[in-house]
Amino acid sequence: MFKGISDMMSLMGKAKEMQSRMSEIQDKLAQTRVRGSAGNGMVSIEVNGKFDVLSCQIDQSLVDGNRARLEEMVVSAMNDAMFKARKTAAEMMQEMSGMDLPGMGDAFSKMGLG
C-alpha cells in the first residue's frame, strides 16, 4: 500500500518538474529570434520561437519596382523564417525536456523537420 503512495508521489513530482521545464521552454521560445530572407537578403523577416512576426525589412529597390516580385519574396522570406523557428523550437523542446519522447520524431516530421 505504501509503495503505491510512494509511486504516486514520485509521479506527481515528475509532473511538476515537467511543468516547470515547459514553462522555461515557453519563456525561452518567446526570447528566441530567427530571421528568414529571400532575394539575397532583399526581404528579411524576423520571428520568435512562438511564431510571432517581429519585423519585416524590404530593400528600397523592391518598393519602387515590381509589386508581384516583392509579394513573392515576402512570402518566401516568411516561409524561411517560420521553418527556422519551427526547427529551433523543436530542438529546444527536445534539449530542454531532456527526453527523447516516443512520437516526437513523427511530430517533427509533420512540422517538416524530419
Mean pLDDT split into 10-residue runs, the chain, 114 residues: 73 81 85 91 90 89 84 89 88 74 55 46
| Strands, sheet with 43-48, edge to edge from the N-terminal-most edge strand | 33-38, 43-48, 53-58
Residue 68: per-residue pLDDT: 86
CATH code of the domain containing 80: 3.30.1310.10
Is residue 102 domain-resident? no
Is residue 108 domain-resident? no
Is residue 110 domain-resident? no
Is residue 52 domain-resident? yes
**Phi, psi at 42, each rounded to 5°:** -70, -25
For residue 54, give its domain range: 25-89
Is residue 15 domain-resident? no
Residue 105: per-residue pLDDT: 52
Indicate yes or no: pTM above 0.75: no
Residue 104: per-residue pLDDT: 54
Our count of domains for the chain comes to: 1
Is residue 112 domain-resident? no
- Give the torsion sign (CA, 29, 38, 41, 68): negative
Is residue 73 domain-resident? yes
How large is the C-alpha radius of gyration of the chain?
Answer: 20
